[in-house]
Amino acid sequence: MSLTTVAEDLERLRTTYRTGRTKTYEWRIGQLEALSRMMDEQETRFADALAGDMHRGHTESITTDLAVVRGDLKDAIKHLKKWMKPENVKMPLVLGTGAKCEVIREPLGVALIIGAWNYPIMLTLGPLIGAIAGGNCAVIKPSELPKACAVAVERSVKEYLDPDAFAVVQGGIPETTEILAQRYDYIFFTGSPPVGRIVMEAATKHLTPLTLELGGKSPAIVAADADLEVAAKRIVQGKFLNAGQTCIGVDYVMVEEAVADDLIDRLKNEIVAFYGTNPKTSQDLARIINDANFDRLVGLIGDNEVAIGGDHDREERYIGPTMLVDVPPDAEVMSEEIFGPIMPVVRVGSIPEAIEHVVEGEKPLALYVFSKDKKLQRQVMARTSSGGACINDTLTHIAIPEAPFGGVGYSGMGQYHGKYGFDTFTHAKTVLTRTTKLDPDLRYPPYEGMKATLAEKMM
């Protein structure tokens, strides 16, 4: 791929956009329905690609990557006509005579969507739903790390969607740098905070608006009154799904000292229940995406106390579900996002202590609290800030089509899913329409005497 090729793709998409055909309801609904057919008809293609790239189990692929995209598509197809309708705005008395005001959602133009490697179908095609619903063309850049998935996305998009409105570009860091050098009307990036900074810097050169879906250290807080049996199951799933390579996955656990030993035992039991005594043979445990991440993760285990797991095989990029206990607060595993199957469990004296730890750090993409006490639940939600949160659960908030998903602060900016995705890829334009049959002189100078008094009072 060359810069010339990217420029040619962009010009082709801009030419399509200028025709106005992507703005129509018929085009948008047609493309959304085509994308929906693609998700159904190419299910095996996507699942096989995920298995090849990450050793992802078929069921896990269907219930994560594919299910979220399908849910968002169903919601968009159902509500698109309503989303596109102009919104009437109440006029102030002084402006209301012979006038009306509407807010119209207009497309932004040509968007750049940069997908992530950990859920390469969901995090590439998910934002595309909002772009299509909003009436935009799009350049789609899948992550180069899951190679089979990148090829599957490119093939599928070319087979099902308007070739004059969408372009899939492949490549690594050099190609992505060239792609970012171009001017877009919107950029949607999913990835790590360090790369997010690079994308944001590139966007500023053209004053391009953008959404950044990043990550961070998302904690699970377990209170002494929690249902520990349920908490253990949901935390283990929230941690080790996709071998821990989940942006909203549980990064670490903070548990009140009084129940810490009990929870640790239950977590160990659930790890064995989920993945067996030899997790390497489990069909439900994915592999690490590449050697660099494998080496980083093994380094994070280091000399910390391992309660279960810790086994690894570089040739297969396998790391067993690992739980660390009594981890020193200054350990490297507690200072960076883990993004792998390593779960530190930290004992705290109280929930306020856990809250303070969260508040002192960067705002996470997700936060999970386990407690039966509604007052304590509200206290944690009120005192902490995170992109999203679950009470007595993990992960599932991402699967609600009509609820926003996005980060805050270090974990990102902007939201999508459902109407929020449509709003992300459109501009809210205020349009006032006034009759010419009524034209009171009160609004025009010179302002003198009673005319000035009335004008001032009315405003």
The residues that are catalytic are 213, 247
Closest to 242 in 3D by CA, of 213, 210, 285: 285
Yes or no: say if 194 and 393 are a contact pair by the CB < 8 Å rule: no
Q: How many CB atoms lie within 10 A of CB 54?
A: 26
d(CA 323, CA 447): 77
d(CA 12, CA 64): 34
d(CA 238, CA 246): 9
Instruction: Name the one residue in this structure whose structure tokens are 């995406």.
Output: 289
> Which letter does DSSP use for residue 405 in this model?
B
Identify the burial level of 391 via C-beta atoms within 10 angstroms of its C-beta, where 0-12 means exposed, 13-18 middle and 19 or more buried.
middle
Bridge partner list, 109: none
Bridge partner list, 388: 366
Backbone angles phi, psi at 58, to 5 degrees: -60, -50
Closest to 339 in 3D by CA, of 399, 252, 407: 252
H or E segment to which residue 271 belongs: helix 257-275
